Chain A
Amino acid sequence: MTRRNHRISATLLLLLLSPISLVAQTALQRVRQTGELRVGTDATYPPFETAEGGQFTGFDIDLANAVARELGVRAAFTNSGFDGIFPALQNGTFDIVISAVTITPERSATMLFSDPYINAGQLIAIHKETGGIEKPEDLKGKHIGVQINTTAQFDFEKREGVEVTKYDSVALALTDLRNKRIDAVVSDAPVLRYMILQSFQDLKPVGRQFTDEKLGIVLARDSDELRRAVNAALWRVKDSGEYDRIHQKWFGEAAEQAAGSSATQPKAFDLSIVQRTWRFFLTGIWLTARLAFLSLLLGLPIGLLLALARVQSSRILSAPAAVYVEVIRGTPLLVQILFIYFVLPSFGIFIPAFWSGVLALTLNSAAYIAEIFRAGILSIDAGQMEAARALGMTHAQAMRRIILPQTFRRVVPPLTNEAIALLKDSSLVYVIGLSELTRTGQELASRYAAPLTIWPMVAIFYLLLTFPLTRIAEYLERRWRPITRS
């Protein structure tokens, strides 16, 4: 089973981070000394790992707890987007990553793996009303759905005559299979079984697991000592029967029956899920609101200064501002976030996740805000500046007293746009482990296997967050109406 493995994190960041060695103390010494094993996991993958209101559950979670117990320490979990999880391991944020990670040669080249702890191969699922598909060969000429960047995708893209559509999550692929847009879904057996039992009873798994995929605990390259200790702990967990108990709990008959009996016929929008989950959104909403508010607050003055620099006649100021805007607008926000959080530490600059997010969003939005202000300034009739100058004002006085007050009135609508875009773009900070609104939705959608309930909730929460912004904009426009009336 290969989880999403973001192109950017894999190539860019590992390349950038590889020459860095930060740890003087060995990882094992540190773990022993602090009594804490820091575990990174992307908790959107039941039954391996899910999170709900800060509580982690799943097969991997139980196993990591058991391993930590054997090491005589406590496991401390951090929820991190899969894109950022390996860079965080490399720069020492985590001691280990347990997140249903398949052992692959590529990953083994840059990181260490424990001994395999489970074999989870690929499985095919089809609609109950259809048939004729039992093994990979039967999929020739068919249209299948896979989760993006998984081994299923890599496998079937190589096969002749199979049309592959890639989805962001297994749940979405299964939803499309239910709607019969596709003929089958290929994914990791344990996850597929779990999802079908939870909320896709009109689908069924067919045939046998047709690949071997060994999952391992991941460690940073320089922590061989810790790896040996983790391996020893894993074997003790297996020998003591603890492993079987955990396996039975999550993958055994009992688990299937429990899941099957508790699951009801899936609804498009399930109010009982809304009732059970809305509370878990509050932290995410609050985080999103703070991120967007602070970034906007800081981005506005920076954007204004950039715009003023750009409308100067002197190239000394305008050229750097133009380059800044060009570079920031021309590069993805995701890369900027990853850069600030994962690459700056290699220059000795450590910024906590939240403030890394604020910084990235601020610098990014400032570039867009600068262009809004610049357009606003340029839209003011040249006669205004002339009149102000003719009355004896300096350029700076004319700007401050005459041009900018008029600019502010004009840029309210485009700034509102930018503020709303910023609010929604803030979801990208999930890559540095911040569980904001979208990420919370992702976690809960997986946990409850209810994308059709959770995502509309996420949408409504965003709508509620944008509401105050649009109200403020309306208020400002109403207040300034007499001036623009003609």
Chain B
Amino acid sequence: MLRRTKSYPSLGLEDRFIIFEVKVYRERRRVIEVTDIVKRYGSNTVLNHATFQINEGQLTTILGPSGCGKTTMLRCMNRLEKFDRGRLKIGGVEVLGTEDRRLTAAEEKELTRQLRSRVGIIFQNFNLFPHLTALDNCTESPMTVKGMQRAKAEEVARQYLQKVGLGGKEDHYPAQLSGGQQQRVAIARALAMEPEVILFDEPTSALDPQLIQSVARMLRALDDLGKTLVVVSHDMNFARRISDQVIYFEGGHAVESGTVEELFSNPQKPETRAFMQSFHDDEPAVIDEESATDKAESGKLETDLGTRGQLGQEE
């Protein structure tokens, strides 16, 4: 929990593409760099010179109102969408906009393969494979993509299902599981591919409100595994509770980015202030304490699904 309690000095602007000041932690390398990304659907500009960085092992929330382009941004990071201009770096993989560089089919295939081997995604509706059991959902891609033997793949899958608290549900089909359980299968499925970065698209929107707390715990626990997590959400309460870093997104670009404290207590940009204001109107100050408690406890909290100890085994 070191990174949340200590603060590090800003290193300032990195190069001329970086518009906003970003906190950089000395001991962590940047794992995701988004530089001046533009994406249009016809005349509709969805991403408008988006620029931000995400450090390794952090939990970053891209927060913003509906239609701000945050989900499109997330999908670009996994190559489910291509972008027109700009540069995306994830790990050692660099992707340029389609207008900047034209790739051959083979290059595109290789790039996509490399990117997806590093980046997993949990969809808003999970998109589990309904014809496969929970276990088979998790073994399918290690076997087909990595060529893993079934026995080995099942061993790995069982471990991850156990970690997300679904031990004993291996042979259930998605339709036989609750929404929260389905989400955890989706997480185990992504983890089984052992990505460095895991993207979450609106992890709370398909769930009952009472499950949100356990999702938060789950995310914190994943964070403790050392994974870099990027969460897209419009839910400020949730973002505040879970994040190391928050990026406020509006109009297709990152307006402002910083720690929870920086962004929620002292927003610099008028757009951010307006958004925070609407939040404060809706939900009074209680949240602050609650989220602080959550974060403080997440390290030692035993969730109903899996303990930190279980999740920490990998480290």
Contacts and interface: CB of A to CB of B under 8 A. Distances in A.
A406 interface: yes
Interface stretch (A414-422, A427-435, A443-451, A477-485): A477-485
Contacts of A485: 173, 175-176
A24 interface: no
Given A390-B80, A406-B130, A409-B131, A482 B193 contact: no
A383 B127 contact: yes
Given A397-B144, A406-B130, A390 B117 contact: no
Going nearest first, the 10 A-B pairs with the smallest beta carbon separation are A387-B127, A391-B141, A383-B127, A392-B145, A392-B116, A390-B121, A486-B175, A397-B144, A405-B131, A485-B175
Nearest to B128: A387
Interface string B116-127: 110011010101
Given A483-B173, A485-B175, A406 B131 contact: yes
Interface in A44-91: none
B123 A391 contact: no
Contacts of A483: 130-131, 173, 175
14 contacts: A381-B127, A384-B129, A386-B127, A389-B80, A390-B120, A391-B145, A392-B113, A392-B117, A393-B144, A402-B140, A406-B131, A409-B131, A483-B173, A486-B175
Given A482-B173, A483-B173, A387 B129 contact: yes
A485 to B, nearest CB: 5
Interface in A377-412: 381, 383-384, 386-394, 397, 401-402, 405-406, 409
B106 to A, nearest CB: 12
User: Which has the most chain B C-beta neighbours within 10 Å: A387, A393, A397, A480?
Assistant: A387
Given A402-B129, A483-B130, A391 B176 contact: no
Contacts of B129: 384, 387-388, 402, 406
B70 interface: no
Contacts of B131: 405-406, 409, 480, 483
B193 to A, nearest CB: 6
A432 to B, nearest CB: 42
B190 A482 contact: no
Interface residues of A, number: 24
Given A383-B123, A397-B144, 5 more contacts: A381-B127, A391-B145, A482-B176, A484-B175, A485-B173
B130 A391 contact: no
Contacts of B109: 394
B199 to A, nearest CB: 9
B78 interface: yes
Contacts of B78: 390
Nearest to A395: B109
B189 interface: yes
A57 to B, nearest CB: 59
Contact of B144 (A383, A401, A484): A401
Contacts, number: 67
A401 B132 CA distance: 10
A401 B145 CA distance: 11
Interface string A330-355: 00000000000000000000000000
B68 to A, nearest CB: 21
A480 B128 CA distance: 17
Contacts of A482: 173, 175-176
A391 B173 CA distance: 19
A402 B127 CA distance: 11
B184 to A, nearest CB: 15
A245 to B, nearest CB: 73
Contacts of A383: 123, 125, 127
Contacts of B140: 391, 401-402
Interface string A8-26: 0000000000000000000
A387 B121 CA distance: 8
B116 A391 contact: yes
A392 B195 CA distance: 11
Contact of B116 (A389, A402, A484, A486): A389
Nearest to B124: A383
Interface in B126-175: 127-131, 140-141, 144-146, 173, 175
Nearest to A382: B127
Interface string A448-486: 000000000000000000000000000000001011111
A391 B190 contact: yes
Contacts of B130: 406, 483-484
A486 B129 CA distance: 14
B175 to A, nearest CB: 5
Contacts of A486: 175
Contacts of B189: 391
Interface in B184-237: 189-190, 193
User: Which has the most chain A C-beta neighbours within 10 Å: B109, B123, B129, B145?
Assistant: B129
Interface in B1-26: none
A393 B176 CA distance: 25
A376 to B, nearest CB: 13
B219 to A, nearest CB: 18
Contacts of B116: 389-392
Nearest to A405: B131
Nearest to A398: B144
Nearest to B109: A394
